[in-house]
Structure formats: structure tokens, C-alpha cells
Homo-oligomer: A and B are copies of this chain.
Amino acid sequence: MTQTYNVAVVGATGLVGEAIVELLESRDFPVGELFVLASNESAGKPVYFKGRSIKVGDLADFDFSQVQIALFSAGSAVAAEYAPRAVDAGCVVIDNSSCFRNEPEVPLVVPEVNPERVREHCGIIANPNCSTIQMLVALAPIYRYAGIRRINVATYQAVSGAGRQAVEELARQTALLLNARDVDNQHFAKQMAFNVLPQIDSLDDSGYSGEELKMVWETRKILEDDEIAVTPTCVRVPVFFGHSEAVHLETRDPISALEVRELLQQAPGIEVLDEAQDGGWATPVTEAAGKDAVFVSRIREDITAENGINLWVVSDNVRKGAALNAVQIAELLIREPF
């Protein structure tokens, strides 16, 4: 008989929480009992799992000693308050927020990149930022083969990365504009429909946004390389699901586009879609949304600089960028007693 684990999903009514519940089912995670939790205002709502309806429980009242694994996707404030309680109750927490990512004793894990770090947890394992995850799935094979000195990256990030209200704002604004009505901005600082917004998360004194800083230091922590220079510009685009990234690399050793293509074709979690013709590349809508893979396209050598490799990287930000990566961490965790 297969061992099963009681699992709690915290933030179960959000976009990522919903996807976690769906993935636990579709990937046959050995769930004993599933507890779906959220703030008081969502308590009592139904969540569907394996053909039955489970009532959302109030996180504030939950006894974490009932579960072995808790998947958190409820933001930093909730994680800061409840993750330590869960750990004290003997539970392992996999947290999607940025709350613990920078703590030295907390592993920051992308299963395709540094799975071995899962075992070093002290109760909490952090899920990296969505933009970092898909970039590093694509870059890790190149990093191991040729080294990487610099990463210039510009992102094209879907509104779902900002949660359900952001998705609704894009839909609402688009409908209003098509009916020649004025729009207002509730979630975003400026009109999101038919527009691009060059700020994700707040700006600090360096002029970098929070999202950009995450890509800088999460990359260093995951690759365990403090020398790697990451220069991001993070931009929100009017896409519902799927982040894209234009990645320009400077590798340590020379590597050809052909070598990169062969490396990535053999690498886990990657689908290379790179035909030299119209449409021979991946986009958020037509390839990535709803899929597990990180898609890599437009693999080319930099014609103006040595050791330059350019890529286009697309993935479903709610799945591989968040929910799927968290469930994959849980799958690593249960391979051995933990």
C-alpha cells in the first residue's frame, strides 16, 4: 500500500492555490486527506478535488498537526504568520511567497536545477519567483556546460502573476475600451488593456523594482554563484496567462546555438520550439498556457558580441512559475522519509 500524506493548501481560492489542488489530483500526488484553507472571508466556499467538494477552512483556526505538508500561496504576510506555526506543528511548508526566500537556511528550489537542496530544509522550502523559475530551467543546462557571466533579460509578464483581480481588470478594461467607454484603474497604476507597464512590485533606491531584484539574487542563490550578473527589466503586458522572456546571455566559454539547442532538447522540463520560419516559436497563448513545460525558442548566437547566446523563454506563470514547481518540490520531498 502506498504511503499517503495529509496536505494543506493555504490560499486555496487564489489562482495559484486552485492550480495546486488541480495538480495534486492530475499528478496523482499521494494525498491522504486534503485541507483547503483561506482567510475567514473565503471560508465555507467549495473546492473540488477528486470528484468531491471540500469546504474551505479558516486558516486562523487550523491545526497544522493534522498534515505533513502545507503548500502556501497566500502572500508574504500570511506566510510570515502561519508558516512558523505549521513548522512548529511538525509540518513541512512549501511557500510560494518571497517571505523566506532570502533566509540562508531556507532552500530555494527549482526541481530541474537544484533538487538536492530540498533535503536541507529546516521545515520551510521556498518556491522562487515565477520569472526566475522559467529562466533558470532554460539556463541551467547552459550554465553547467559553458558557465554564464551575464544575463540581460527583459520580461513580458502576464497579469495572472498579479492575481485574480488583475486578470479581472484586464478583462474589464478591454471590454470597456471595445465599447468606447472610459476605463479606471483599480489594480494597476495605469491602464493595462492594450498597454505595457514597466514596473512590477515597488521601486527601491537603486531604481530597480522588487521583481527585478528577485531575479538578480534568486538566480545567484539557486545557481550558488555570487559572480553571475543579472540585469532585468520586468514589464507587465496585456496577456492573461504565460510569462515570456527575452534572454541575452554572455557565457564564460564559447558555445554555439546548435550546442545550446541540443543541450536543451535533452534537458528536463524544457520543450525546444525553434523553427526558422514564421510562427516557429512559442507564445504564451498558443503554446505555454495550461502546459507544464518551459518553452525555448529563437536560440541564436549574438552576431555582435563574443560568447553571446540569445533565447526566448515562455512558460505558464501560474503552473511552472508557481503551482507546478511547488507540487514538484513536494514530490521530491516524499521520495525519502523527511
- A189-B279, A216-B303 are known contacts; what are 17 more A-B pairs with Cβ within 8 Å? A154-B233, A156-B156, A156-B196, A178-B178, A190-B285, A194-B285, A196-B237, A196-B244, A197-B283, A198-B281, A206-B303, A208-B300, A208-B303, A230-B304, A231-B310, A233-B248, A238-B239
Q: What would be 8 A-B contacts, judged by CB atoms less than 8 Å apart?
A: A171-B178, A195-B283, A195-B285, A203-B277, A207-B257, A216-B303, A231-B248, A231-B304
Contact with B along A211-254 (1 / 0, CB 8 A): 00000100000000000011101010111100010101000000
Interface residue? A276 (CB, 8 A)? yes
- When chains A and B are docked, how far (Å) is the Cα of A325 from the Cα of B138? 40
Given the interface pairs A190-B283, A198-B246, A276-B203, the reply to whether A216 lies near B304 with Cβ below 8 Å is: yes
Give the 5 A-B residue pairs with the shortest CB-CB distance, closest first: A207-B300, A154-B154, A189-B279, A233-B246, A229-B304
Contact of A235 among B156, B202, B277 (CB under 8 A): B156
Copies of this chain assembled into the complex: 2
Which residues of A pack against B, CB within 8 Å?
Answer: 150, 152, 154, 156, 170-171, 174-175, 178, 189-191, 194-199, 202-203, 205-208, 216, 229-231, 233, 235, 237-240, 244, 246, 248, 257, 276-281, 283-286, 297-305, 308, 310, 312
A297: which B residues are within 8 A, CB to CB? 198
